[in-house]
Amino acid sequence: MNLFWNVETAIRFSAAITGFAATPALLSLATIRWVKDARRGLPRWRKGMGLAAIVIISALWLFQTTRWVLWSMNCDLTTPYGNWREFELFLPAFYLYAALPLASALKSASRLLTLAAWVLVQVFYGAFIYT
């Protein structure tokens, strides 16, 4: 048994669990703070950008969680229209990286919470990338 494989598996699993559990909590707190405090004083374009960042991060977390559940049930992630794994590799490049500048349009604590959720979604995705 390879010791390094066991350490790698433990690190990947702990990163996946951390990203899975903490991302919705941080996004919920960011949304609550945004609705209560920061949204009042923002112009319309900043409100839209902040909301877009929260929605994008939430959608990608949900997508990754769905993949994780399907993998745990030993479902094949290929479709008749192509390979779903290839699709999900490009998803963070087009959407998750766009959420970072959108999240910077938020104000005060909601910005920090959304940026922390963005980092955790990166960790959640990184736990499943095999090199």
pLDDT in tens, 19-62: 888 889 988 988 888 888 767 777 888 888 888 888 888 888 88
- Terminal-residue alpha carbon distance, the chain: 20
Phi-psi map region of 108: left, alpha, beta (phi>0 left; psi -120 to 50 alpha): left
Percent of residues, the chain, with pLDDT higher than 70: 74
pLDDT band of residue 131 (cuts 50, 70, 90) is very low
CA 93 – CA 21 distance, rounded (Å):
23
Q: Which two tokens stand for residue 21?
A: 């559990």
pLDDT for 8 beyond 70: yes
**Under a CB-based contact definition with an 8 Å cutoff, are residues 29 and 113 in contact?**
yes
pLDDT for 97 beyond 70: yes
Residue 107: helix, strand or coil by DSSP?
coil
Amino acid 36: pLDDT? 82
Q: Which two tokens stand for residue 66?
A: 């769905």
**Under a CB-based contact definition with an 8 Å cutoff, are residues 105 and 49 in contact?**
yes
121 bridge partner residues? none
Q: DSSP secondary-structure letter at 2?
A: -
Residue 82 phi/psi, 5° resolution? 145, -170
